[in-house]
Every structure is written in structure tokens, then in C-alpha cells.
């Protein structure tokens, strides 16, 4: 390396010398650079300049090299217009330029020797100059290998950090070590340096670095750098940066409930996550406090090689104090951390009914819902379809009937714990004697016709239906109603007496009569109606005329009510019509809304 620096110095002084020589100009002067550097495999060029006094020209130029025994070997003989190469190893690799400079191609390690330029100029005599040819090879980018086994901060001797190899260079370079970009000042015992010479003559240099590590070094990045001289300048090549595996015991533990305790509800899967800052992670153990100082080992619920305890489907009894304990196998130190798990729950959901079920039709009840939980609760009521019908812990139901929806649920929700809810179903039973809701009466029939008598009722408990006439009964259920069709042939007796539908259960009996009307008789009554209507209209007209007449004569005092009656005769007429109809034919009025509506068109036709 020192040679490189010297070469630069010599090259400079050679330049000065040339100037001096030219200035002096008294005798034959030959000059070449003191040192020429050439990269192995490249071409070396040695220039030779000379000064011949009295305008003389040279007669010859000879190039030599100096061999190991310090004797000269001629390479070539140059005269005006001719270059004569001697039979040496260089014959194929050398050439002489226009300017008489010697070029050697494919420079090899052995070419590092002294070359001589000798100029002969007749009467001016002979002059010569020597040049050292230095050869070099730039090293390859160094390779770094971190300690593959990892290093413990507790190791007693100084551990090996990494090894750095710089291959195939000449001369052998220096290697320095760096951590996080800063060069390390290392003691002699911290670096092991080996240098091997390859068969090519090039050097391979290995540097192994030893240093103590701390836990912070888990993030440190190390690299090595090779340094070499080139044309008088320092050059450097850096290796890649590597991290080393550092082993250190845990110093801190963190124990967490996931999801957070305040959101844990019964049935959830809960993880207790224990984290230690040691490397490698220590051995984890979990315990739950059952009683005072009685710890239950839960390690069998731990995921292998991790600090995660899995609790599946927790319930109230999973609440309590948990502890995570670590054991560092390196130095056998123990650490522990506790956490409290709270499992939120809703239990003992009760619905009370006042008065208690079953209740009578038409009465009212109050449903009260109550539950137990460590968190605040909200109450809602829902019907059978899941529709919300009320909020708050009470539900009032009035005027209950058999038909009122009777199944409700009380939904208890904990607003602070998403998803925590419980429901309780309640059934409000309405009991009572049967109620006949539809009956085919009156029924317009013809004698000997086969007709259906229909009776429909509702009750809880389920009632039974009976007819007082013989026929084929067909019972069926429609919604909550029970109905019966009795198919009968209309006999004279039946037409006269009608039929009776009797519905009964434990709580009572209801009966309804079906009136059978002969359609012919009905037709007659229709006639009567028409006559009655006509008569009524006539009566009204006559009455109107009389009143009008009397009023004109002034016999009746002119009151507001009286005036109205006369100015709006139409309204009055209608009223009378309806009255007459309903007086004379209550059956007809019933028919308008009756179950057996199909008979009406018949009546109208006649
Ligand atoms: C050298 O030769 C050149 C022409 O070739 C001439 O001009 C010059 O004067 C000569 N110098 C000497 C010192 O003879
Ligand atoms: C290599 O180290 C030697 C001795 O410390 C020193 O003289 C030389 O200059 C160094 N070379 C480089 C390229 O730094
Ligand atoms: C809670 O769960 C444990 C097991 O997971 C079970 O043994 C226990 O009976 C459960 N307790 C209740 C009140 O459900
Ligand atoms: C109860 O219901 C019946 C039939 O739906 C109705 O006629 C009655 O007016 C209701 N009574 C009250 C107090 O709401
Ligand atoms: C109400 O709930 C009871 C059981 O609780 C069920 O048997 C009945 O069918 C339900 N009623 C209706 C109308 O869904
Ligand atoms: C019962 O009789 C009525 C009247 O004839 C009829 O409309 C109805 O379809 C019958 N019901 C059944 C279930 O047969
Ligand atoms: C009468 O009732 C029976 C049985 O319910 C039914 O099959 C039949 O169709 C009904 N007749 C009429 C005319 O509706
Ligand atoms: C019904 O038929 C039975 C025999 O089939 C008879 O004894 C009874 O008198 C009949 N009842 C009526 C009301 O016709």
C-alpha cells in the first residue's frame, strides 16, 4: 500500500525532472515514470521520453526488464522504422507505440518488476531510465456472514458477531467493521484476520469480529468494509448490512383480555394474551385463582409455544383473577402478571302476570319482566312475529279476547355489552265460555232442498259443537275458530222449527238458532214490502201536502224545526223507508250482514 502512495509521489517528481532536463539541455537525458500501476488483466503503458543535444537523432531504443537474478533481459530493439522483438515471454504481449512507449497487454502478477528504457544516440552516447511496474487487483465486494447460532447477552466470553471475506485482490486490502454505520474501534482480541494467497497470486482476506452484545443490538445492523489504494487514492467497498440474532431474557410481561373484559359476555370465546419482551419467548403458564391462594393450572388450554390462553364459551364462573407466569430457560428467571376477567351475563329472566293466567275474556293483565345482571338492563316486549310492541319492564294488555295474540316475549338487553341479551316467553291464556261468531241465519231454502247449516264459534278450552237435527256434520278449524257444516235435507218440520247450534266447553254453553225461511213465503213478503213502501210514500206525500197547506194558511206557527222538516223532505222519506223495512223484516236486515250472503241475490230477483 505504501508503494502506491510512493508511486504517486514519484510520478510527480518525474514530471518535474522532465522540465529540468529540457531546461538543462546539455547531455542525453532519458526519462520514464518511476512507477506505473496496471490492473491485472489490463494493459500497462510505460512512456519513454528523451532529450538528445545538438539536434542529434537516436540510433536505437532498447526495452529491458530486470529479472529475479537482477540481470537484464532485452524485450525489443527499436530503430528508425523498425521494431525487433526479442524472443521472450513478452513477445506476444508487447507493442511499441509511435511515441516509443512500451505497452504490455494482459498484465499478470509476474509483470510486477522493473523495466528499463535505453536510448542510444551515436555521439551523444547512451542513456536509460527505470520504471517499476506495479500490478493491482480491485477486491470483490466483501461478503458478510452473521453468527448463525444467535448470541446471548449473557454469554460469558466475547461472542463472534460476524465474518467478513474479501476475495481475489492484490495487494491484500484492509477490512474495517461498522455497527449502524459507525466504524467500530476494536481491540486486538476482537478481530481475527487471516490472509490466504490464491494460486492466481491474489489474496483472499477474512476478518472475524467479536464483540459483546446488549438487548438493543437486536436492531443493530453490522457491515464490513474493504479498503484499498488505487492510483494514489483510497477506495472502499462495503458489504451488505446484516442483523444478528440476540438472545435476552424477558424484562416485562403484558397480559391482556381480548376482547376487553367490559365487552365479554357469556358464551364468548375469550383469549388471554401474555406477551414477554424476551428472545426467545419464555415458557408461559396460566393459572386461575379459585379460592384464596388456590391456583388452578390452565396451561393445558394454552396454544403451544405461545402466550395465548383460549377460553371457549365462557360463563359467569369463568370470571376471576388470572395469572400469566413465564420461565426463562436461559437464566431460569420467573416473571408474572395478573388480569381480572369479568364475564357479563343476564340470568333469572322472569315474567310475572297480574292477575295470573288464565284470565277471562274482556279482562286486562299486567306483565312484569325482571332479570339479574351485573350491568344495567333495558327491557322490550315483542309479539309472536318478533315485532316490538312496548318498551320498559311492564306490558299492559286490556280487553283480552280469545283472538288477541297471546304469546309475548320479554327481551332483556344490556346496552353496554353488545350482543348480551336474553328473552323469556310468556303466554297469556284467555279462558271463557264459547262465543258464536257466525251462524247461517236466516237461511232461505226450498223444501226438500239439501242445504248446509253453518255455525262458527271460538273458545278456550276448545269447545264442542252440536246440532239438534240429524244430518251429516263436517267440522273444521278456521284460524282459531271451530266451525261445523251440517248437510241436511229441508223437511217440513225443519223448515218450521229451524235448527239449533250448541257450543259448549267446561266454562259454559252458547246456543244460536238458525231460522229457515221458505223462499216462496219470502217472495210474498217482498210483495208486502213493496206495497208498504208505496203506501208509506203516499202517506208522506199527503201528510206533506196537508202540512204545507196549513202552513200557508198560517195555522201552524213558523218554527225553525218545522221549516227544516219541510225543506228537506227527502231525508225524512229515507228514514221512514229504512224504519219500515227493519220493522217488518228484521231477517232481511240480518241477511245484509249474515254469513249466508248468497241468498240475497235470490231475494232481489223476486
Ligand atoms: C536543429 O535543426 C533544426 C532544423 O532541423 C534547425 O532549425 C536548428 O537550428 C538546429 N539547432 C541546432 C542547435 O543545431
Ligand atoms: C491498511 O492498514 C495499514 C496499517 O494500518 C495502513 O498503513 C494502510 O494505509 C491501510 N490501507 C488502507 C487502504 O487503508
Ligand atoms: C361454566 O362452564 C364450565 C366449563 O366451561 C362448566 O363446567 C360450568 O358448569 C359452567 N357453569 C355454568 C353456571 O354454566
Ligand atoms: C273490547 O273489545 C270489544 C270487541 O273487540 C269492543 O267492542 C269493546 O269496546 C272493547 N272494550 C274496551 C274497553 O276496549
Ligand atoms: C303460543 O305459545 C305456545 C307455547 O308456548 C304454543 O303452543 C302456541 O301455539 C303459541 N300460540 C301461537 C298463536 O303461536
Ligand atoms: C260449509 O258450507 C258453506 C255453505 O254451504 C260453504 O260455503 C263452505 O264452503 C262449507 N265449508 C266447508 C269446509 O266445506
Ligand atoms: C256443504 O258442506 C260440505 C261439507 O262441509 C261441502 O263439501 C259442500 O260443498 C257444501 N255445499 C255447499 C253447497 O256449499
Ligand atoms: C235422528 O235420527 C235418529 C235415528 O236415526 C232418530 O231416532 C231421531 O229421532 C232423529 N232425530 C231427529 C230430531 O230427527
CB 201 within 8 A of CB 192: no
Of residues 189 and 2, more confidence is placed in 189
Phi (first) and psi of residue 321, to 5 degrees: -95, 125
Looking at ligand 2, which residue's alpha carbon is closest to its atom 6? 1
Ligand nearest to the CA of residue 53, numbered in listed order: 1
Q: What does CATH list as the number for 253-341?
A: 2.60.40.10
CA 485 to ligand 6 centroid distance, Å:
6
The finding on whether 320 has its CB within 6 A of some atom of ligand 3 is no
Phi (first) and psi of residue 529, to 5 degrees: -60, -50
Given pLDDT bands bounded at 50, 70 and 90, which one contains residue 37? very high
Residue 357 pLDDT more than 90?
A: no
Beta bridge partners of 366: 354, 396
Residue 161 pLDDT more than 90?
A: yes
Cα separation, 589 vs 583, whole angstroms: 10
Name the pTM for this structure: 0.55
User: Strands, E, within 160-263: which ranges?
Assistant: 160-169, 174-179, 182-183, 191-197, 203-210, 222-230, 233-238, 246-247, 253-258
What is the structure's pLDDT at 554?
66
Q: Which of 452, 465, 596, 598 to mutate to test the pocket of ligand 7 (most atoms within 8 A of CB)?
A: 452
**CATH class entry, domain 143-247:** mainly beta
Given pLDDT bands bounded at 50, 70 and 90, which one contains residue 557? low
Cα separation, 484 vs 437, whole angstroms: 12
Tens digit of each residue's pLDDT (9 = 90 or more) over 269-296: 999 999 999 888 889 999 999 887 788 9
What is the structure's pLDDT at 300?
85
Q: Which CATH architecture has domain 24-136?
A: Sandwich (2.60)
In the CATH scheme, what is the homologous superfamily, with its name and number, of domain 349-428?
Immunoglobulins (2.60.40.10)
Residue 13 pLDDT more than 90?
A: no
Cα separation, 558 vs 551, whole angstroms: 8
Ligand nearest to the CA of residue 455, numbered in listed order: 6
Cα separation, 100 vs 572, whole angstroms: 150
Give the position, in ligand 6's atom list, of the atom nearest the Cα of 440.
4
Ranges of each domain in the chain:
24-136, 143-247, 253-341, 349-428, 432-520, 553-606
CA 476 to ligand 4 centroid distance, Å:
27
CA 585 to ligand 6 centroid distance, Å:
26
What is the structure's pLDDT at 25?
53
Cα separation, 388 vs 525, whole angstroms: 55
Given pLDDT bands bounded at 50, 70 and 90, which one contains residue 462? very high
> Nearest Cα to 483, choosing from 445, 444, 442, 438?
438
Question: Lowest mean pLDDT: which of 27-31, 120-124, 194-198, 502-506?
Answer: 120-124
Looking at ligand 2, which residue's alpha carbon is closest to its atom 4? 174
Tens digit of each residue's pLDDT (9 = 90 or more) over 106-144: 999 999 999 999 999 888 889 999 999 999 999 999 999
Asked if the domains 24-136 and 432-520 are classified in one and the same CATH topology, the answer is yes
What is the structure's pLDDT at 236?
95
> Nearest Cα to 135, choosing from 238, 229, 199, 10?
229
432-520, CATH topology level: Immunoglobulin-like (2.60.40)
Amino acid at each position: 500500500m505504501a508503494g502506491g502512495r510512493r508511486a504517486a509521489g514519484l510520478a510527480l517528481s518525474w514530471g518535474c525532472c522532465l522540465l529540468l532536463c529540457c531546461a538543462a539541455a546539455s547531455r542525453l537525458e532519458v526519462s520514464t515514470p518511476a512507477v506505473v500501476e496496471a490492473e491485472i488483466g489490463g494493459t500497462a503503458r510505460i512512456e519513454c521520453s528523451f532529450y538528445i543535444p545538438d539536434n542529434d537523432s537516436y540510433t536505437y531504443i532498447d526495452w529491458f526488464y530486470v529479472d529475479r537474478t537482477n540481470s537484464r533481459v532485452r524485450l525489443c530493439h527499436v530503430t528508425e522504422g523498425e521494431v525487433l522483438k526479442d524472443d521472450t515471454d513478452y513477445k506476444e504481449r508487447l507493442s511499441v507505440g509511435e511515441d516509443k512507449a512500451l505497452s504490455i497487454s494482459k498484465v499478470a502478477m509476474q509483470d510486477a518488476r522493473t523495466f528499463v528504457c535505453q536510448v542510444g544516440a551515436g555521439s551523444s552516447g547512451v542513456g536509460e531510465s527505470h520504471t517499476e511496474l506495479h500490478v493491482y487487483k480491485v477486491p470483490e465486494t466483501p461478503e458478510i456472514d452473521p453468527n448463525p447460532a444467535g448470541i446471548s447477552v449473557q454469554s460469558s466470553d466475547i461472542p463472534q458477531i460476524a465474518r467478513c471475506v474479501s476475495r481475489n485482490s492484490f495487494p491484500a486490502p484492509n477490512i474495517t467493521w461498522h455497527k449502524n454505520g459507525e466504524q467500530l474501534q476494536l481491540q486486538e482480541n476482537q478481530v481475527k484476520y487471516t490472509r490466504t494467497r490464491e494460486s492466481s497470486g491474489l489474496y483472499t482476506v477474512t476478518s472475524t469480529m467479536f464483540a459483546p452484545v446488549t438487548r438493543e443490538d437486536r436492531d443493530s445492523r453490522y457491515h464490513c468494509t474493504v479498503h484499498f489504494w488505487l492510483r494514489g487514492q483510497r477506495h472502499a467497498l462495503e458489504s451488505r448490512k446484516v442483523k444478528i440474532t440476540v438472545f435476552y431474557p424477558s424484562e416485562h410481561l403484558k397480559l391482556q383480555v381480548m376482547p376487553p373484559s367490559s365487552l365479554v359476555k357469556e358464551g364468548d370465546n375469550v383469549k388471554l394474551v401474555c406477551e414477554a419482551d424476551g428472545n426467545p419467548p419464555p415458557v408461559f403458564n396460566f393459572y386461575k385463582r379459585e379460592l384464596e391462594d388456590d391456583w388452578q393450572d390452565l396451561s393445558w388450554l394454552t396454544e403451544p409455544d405461545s402466550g395465548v390462553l383460549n377460553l371457549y364459551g365462557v360463563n359467569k364462573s369463568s370470571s376471576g383473577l388470572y395469572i400469566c407466569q413465564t420461565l426463562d430457560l436461559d437464566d431460569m428467571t420467573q416473571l408474572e402478571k395478573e388480569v381480572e376477567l369479568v364475564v357479563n351475563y343476564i340470568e333469572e329472566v322472569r315474567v310475572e302476570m297480574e292477575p295470573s293466567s288464565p284470565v277471562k275474556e274482556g279482562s286486562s293483565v299486567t306483565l312484569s319482566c325482571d332479570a339479574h345482571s351485573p350491568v344495567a338492563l333495558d327491557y322490550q316486549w315483542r309479539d309472536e312475529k318478533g315485532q316490538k310492541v312496548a318498551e320498559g319492564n311492564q306490558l299492559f294488555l286490556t280487553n283480552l279476547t280469545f283472538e288477541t295474540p297471546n304469546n309475548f316475549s320479554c327481551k332483556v338487553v344490556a346496552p353496554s355489552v353488545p350482543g348480551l341479551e336474553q328473552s323469556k316467553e310468556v303466554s297469556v291464556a284467555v279462558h271463557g265460555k264459547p262465543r258464536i261468531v257466525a251462524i247461517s241465519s236466516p237461511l232461505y231454502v226450498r223444501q226438500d232442498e239439501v242445504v248446509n247449516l253453518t255455525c262458527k264459534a271460538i273458545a278456550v278450552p276448545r269447545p264442542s259443537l252440536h246440532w239438534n237435527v240429524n244430518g251429516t256434520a263436517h267440522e273444521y278449524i278456521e284460524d282459531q275458530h271451530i266451525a261445523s257444516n251440517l248437510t241436511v235435507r229441508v223437511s217440513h218440520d225443519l223448515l218450521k222449527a229451524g235448527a239449533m247450534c250448541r257450543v259448549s266447553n267446561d266454562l259454559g254453553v252458547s246456543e244460536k238458532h238458525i231460522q229457515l225461511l221458505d223462499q216462496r213465503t219470502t217472495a210474498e213478503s217482498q210483495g208486502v214490502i213493496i206495497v208498504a213502501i208505496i203506501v208509506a210514500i203516499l202517506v208522506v206525500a199527503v201528510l206533506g201536502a196537508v202540512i204545507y197547506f196549513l202552513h200557508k194558511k198560517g195555522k201552524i206557527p213558523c218554527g225553525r224545526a218545522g221549516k227544516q222538516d219541510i225543506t228537506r223532505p227527502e231525508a225524512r222519506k229515507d228514514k221512514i223507508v229504512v224504519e219500515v223495512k227493519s220493522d217488518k223484516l228484521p231477517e232481511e236486515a240480518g241477511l245484509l250482514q249474515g254469513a249466508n250472503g248468497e241468498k240475497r241475490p235470490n231475494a232481489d230477483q223476486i
